[in-house]
Structure 1
Amino acid sequence: MNDRHPPVRAVYEDRVAVVTLASENPLNPLADDLVDALVAELRRIDADPAIRATVLTGSSKAFAAGADVKAMAPLDYAAAFRQDVIGRNWDAIRAHRKPLIAAVRGYALGGGCELAMLCDVVIAAEDARFGQPEVVLGIVPGAGGTQRLPRAVGKSLAMQMCLTGTSISAADALAAGLVSQVVPTDRLLAEATRLARSMAAHSLPVLLAIKEAVNRSFESSLSEGLLFERRQFHAGFALKDQKEGIAAFRERRDPAFADE
């Protein structure tokens, strides 16, 4: 890592962190130093009680245009397995507990698309493109492209993207359900930050519980998921913030949540 050019930059303000992937290469290849720095930053955010939501963004050219192919080239199976390539740090991103919004401009390809899908909400600039081009390199997606993408866009489009390596536009990604909104390129970060602040206005324990419950829906049956949700709902009655939220609603005022 070049200390004069850290691969990840972060700014904390108004209960929101804005984390920028900032490789010296504007395509933001997902080299180990960049992903390690991202994981370290997300862990700091999880540990900081003043931060309630995070925006993750990239350069004007790319959110991230894929894996570090140069670093992958010399690996054989034994080395990839021994080093737990992808697994050793990507699982930590999945474990991030607070709301995480991907603000995607330019290319989100391969690992970049998979990184966006690890986030809770994806907002795209009009110039964004999403794809899983690993097949062109003779490899299989390794960070969720064959698993999260079908859940987001359905089997047919996911198969098309993974088997051909072709990318889709921001408008197509919106129509398919991969992103929640498309905004003018020059408004991307402002809109993503605005959304993060709207989340950060709420109780942190409730934000964590909602994220956990929604993610559980992808890992369990409907009946198990509903039971988990109901227990989270019941647990909320132990929170001071729940009492404050109900009191504020009845008194027609804004709540003052204490994260308790």
Structure 2
Amino acid sequence: MAEHILEGYSPMEKACYLGAIASIATADRTASAEELEHLDTLSEAAGLSDEQAAMIRRAATELSSEELNRCLDQLKGSDLRFSLVTDCIAFAQSDGDYGVEEKAAIEKMAAYLGVDKKQFSLLDEFAHEAKARATTPEEAASPQFLESSGLGDRMQKAGINTSGLLKGLLGVMGPIVLAGMLSGGRRRGGLFGGMLGGGGLGGGLLGGLGGGLLGGGMGGLGGGLGSLTGMFGGGGGFRNSGFGRRGGVLGGLFGF
């Protein structure tokens, strides 16, 4: 895996992206020693310190739906939004059961992040091409793969920064690292199986997305993943300006 997969991104973007990935991969709010080791591998690849990696571990079991929403809000203007959408597609198809409901749920999340239909279609195609044609994670996450598949030019024309996409991409590399996190019965009913009524990955990653998004925001996202307010906001909750008061655990570690 590349040494610094999030090189060039801000501490805030790193925290939000990896926090979202951690909650996606362990949406039942439990994490085995093996799963935590997988997350440590991702944190190391992002160039995080041991202390910062420990905070990402906590995100795997304690990130609330409100906090996940705020992570997504912080990624709206970042190229990492394209990486995150691709991640979700790759995770959803990792067991060969990428259904209509799962795709619709990811499309809604993509729209929330500001990814348009054309861009989503290209990211979806890329995730499928990478799974079908790439022999190694490194190959899939290389500019040469994008060029050979013809997707690179099309993505650029659609407003997707492919350089930024590949720097952050965990969805193509992640299934290799996170395979154990999405097996062993975790994906009952599919990764987004709970969208229409619970079940699947501890209530469903996008448990209330269908109604929550249309009702104003991502209210049900996460299906209740616990609370990480103390971690991000130092126990004081969030302020309108960002991730809680300065001095919060992640706030201090990542510098926001």
The TM-score bracket by the shorter chain reads: under 0.3
Q: Would you tell me which structure has more strand in proportion to its own residues?
A: 1
Normalised TM-score (structure 2): 0.26
Identify the structure with bigger relative contact order (alpha carbons < 8 Å, sequence gap 6+): 2
Pair member with larger Rg: 1
